[in-house]
């Protein structure tokens, strides 16, 4: 990586920057120009569309590669994986929670090696921001949280938010003190899951989670796998608790599977409530898995993101740690095959920097934005998504990390 420039000021030259998507007789087409961008202290300071960098000693030649915002993985388990160790496939027919309990001590000891290996994989695929869900349970206590925190604090190439996640349930309140301990250790989000089917007490579970969130001033990340009316009831109650706690904008849902088979009216009502509470929803695209109504949620103003979830663990050997692949699967699932919708689909993998306006303009990159970006071998976003184009270089806050 010879273009890691230590100077505080650097110019990125000969970089392909998209400016608009226009309609033509042959369909929509993306306009892009070789450009120059000045980076100061990790942020974009000047953008010269269709121009070159001024004479400077600190110039990085982008070789005509396409500029895209870096990716976010909002659901990944760094603490319980086989990745980074010897190949190991799941064993069919075993109850996965019992299998996890058996293997947790071994996987916990391997965190320094395996979590670093996963982070290296994610970064190489273009991800620079990660939400890591770490077990807090009766087997390993808070050790997984503490070990993952130690790993991520030793790295400057990726931003990581750590969730204290009670994968095996709150166990009638026995895990609450451990969650509190994990939050004191540095986890910035408290997690929870399936307050109906797993915990058997929706109100007590949500009261526990939100009490911890308010006491320690942290976010909330709840995984809702339950389908049907139970899942919809849980969803409504999470929204209620969010509003009652004043936690708008600080709560996210992973999965929200009950919305996958809900009728359009139910989806619209739920989406409106989620948007009003400024709650985010994360999901994972998996072959054969439930697919939530992402277009309807996004149209209502709900921030929807993608995550890898499991990467080579006791549940699946298929995780690739590639959010661009997740976007590719998403576009196929909803039939987004035209230029405009392919380009717009990157929003779910990169967040707001990837948003296109209704008139086909793009605000990113703008002066003041963080310089976290990819250089991709493609002519436009639509091509990058459709072909899962090679991510040649990855930068975070102005520094090349892959």
Residues 6+ apart with CB under 8 A from 246: none
Q: What are phi and psi of 259, to 5 degrees?
A: -75, -15
pLDDT for the residue 93: 72
Q: Give pLDDT, residue 155.
A: 94
pLDDT tens digit sequence for 218-263? 999 999 999 999 999 999 999 999 999 999 999 999 989 999 999 9
pLDDT of residue 159: 97
Of residues 96 and 285, the one with the higher pLDDT is 285
What is the spatial distance between Cα 281 and Cα 221, in angstroms, rounded to a whole number? Answer: 9
State how far the Cα of 172 lies from the Cα of 402, in Å rounded to an integer: 45
Strand locations in 276-357 (E):
280-283, 304-306
pLDDT at 7: 57
pLDDT surpasses 80 at 57: no
| pLDDT tens by residue, 291-324 | 999 999 999 999 999 999 989 888 889 989 999 9
Question: What is the DSSP-derived secondary structure letter of residue 241?
Answer: H
Residue 5 has pLDDT above 90, yes or no: no
Question: Cα(392)–Cα(125) distance, rounded to whole angstroms?
Answer: 9
> Is residue 347 a contact partner of residue 299, using CB atoms and an 8 Å limit?
no
Other Cβ atoms less than 10 A from the Cβ of 22: the count is 13
Distance between CA atoms of residues 343 and 355, nearest Å: 9
Over residues 282-286, mean pLDDT? 93
What is the C-alpha R_g of the chain?
22
> What length does the chain have?
402
pLDDT at 1 over 80: no
Is the pLDDT at 163 greater than 50, yes or no?
yes
Domains, in order of start, for the chain:
9-64+360-400 (2.30.40.10), 71-333 (3.20.20.140)
Q: Is the pLDDT of residue 110 over 60?
A: yes
How much is the pLDDT for 6?
47
Mean pLDDT of the chain: 94
User: Residue 228 belongs to what H/E stretch?
Assistant: helix 228-245
Does the pLDDT at position 331 exceed 80?
yes
pLDDT at 2 over 80: no
Q: In terms of C-beta density within 10 A (0-12 exposed, 13-18 middle, 19 or more buried), how is residue 9 classed?
A: middle
pLDDT at 174: 93
Could you tell me which residue, 56 or 101, shows the higher pLDDT?
Answer: 101
**Binning pLDDT at 50, 70 and 90, where does residue 329 land?**
very high
Whole-angstrom distance, CA of residue 399 vs CA of residue 402: 9
């Amino acid at each position: 990586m010879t273009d890691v420039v230590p100077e505080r000021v650097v110019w990125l030259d000969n970089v392909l920057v998209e400016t608009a998507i226009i309609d033509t007789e042959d369909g929509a087409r993306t306009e892009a120009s070789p450009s120059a961008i000045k980076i100061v202290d990790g942020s974009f300071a000047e953008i010269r569309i269709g121009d070159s960098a001024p004479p400077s000693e600190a110039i990085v030649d982008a070789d005509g590669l396409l500029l895209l915002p870096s990716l976010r993985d909002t659901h990944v388990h760094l603490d319980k994986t086989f990745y980074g160790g010897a190949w190991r496939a799941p064993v069919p027919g075993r109850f996965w929670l019992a299998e996890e309990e058996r293997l947790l001590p071994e996987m916990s000891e391997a965190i320094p090696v395996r979590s670093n290996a996963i982070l290296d994989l994610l970064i190489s695929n273009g991800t620079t921001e990660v939400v890591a869900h770490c077990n807090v349970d009766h087997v390993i206590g808070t050790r997984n949280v503490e070990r993952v925190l130690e790993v991520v604090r030793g790295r400057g190439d990726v931003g990581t938010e750590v969730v204290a996640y009670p994968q095996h349930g709150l166990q009638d309140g026995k895990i609450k003190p451990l969650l509190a301990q994990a939050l004191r250790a540095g986890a910035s989000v408290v997690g929870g899951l399936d307050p109906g089917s797993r915990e058997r007490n929706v109100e007590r579970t949500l009261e526990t989670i939100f009490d911890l969130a308010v006491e320690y001033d942290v976010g909330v990340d709840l995984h809702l796998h339950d389908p049907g009316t139970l899942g919809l009831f849980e969803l409504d109650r999470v929204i209620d608790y969010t509003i009652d706690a004043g936690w708008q904008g600080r709560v996210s849902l992973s999965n929200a599977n009950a919305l996958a088979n809900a009728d359009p009216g139910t989806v619209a009502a739920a989406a409106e409530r989620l948007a009003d509470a400024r709650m985010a929803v994360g999901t994972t695209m998996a072959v054969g898995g439930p697919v939530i109504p992402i277009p309807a949620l996004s149209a209502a103003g709900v921030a929807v993101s993608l995550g890898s979830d499991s990467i080579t663990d006791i549940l699946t050997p298929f995780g690739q740690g590639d959010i661009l692949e997740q976007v590719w699967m998403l576009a196929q699932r909803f039939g987004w095959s035209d230029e405009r919708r392919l380009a717009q689909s990157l929003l779910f993998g990169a967040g707001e920097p990837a948003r296109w306006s209704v008139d086909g303009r793009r605000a990113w990159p703008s002066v003041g934005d963080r310089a976290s970006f990819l250089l991709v071998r493609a002519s436009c976003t639509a091509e990058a998504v459709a072909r899962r184009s090679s991510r040649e270089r990855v930068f975070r806050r102005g520094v090349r990390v892959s």
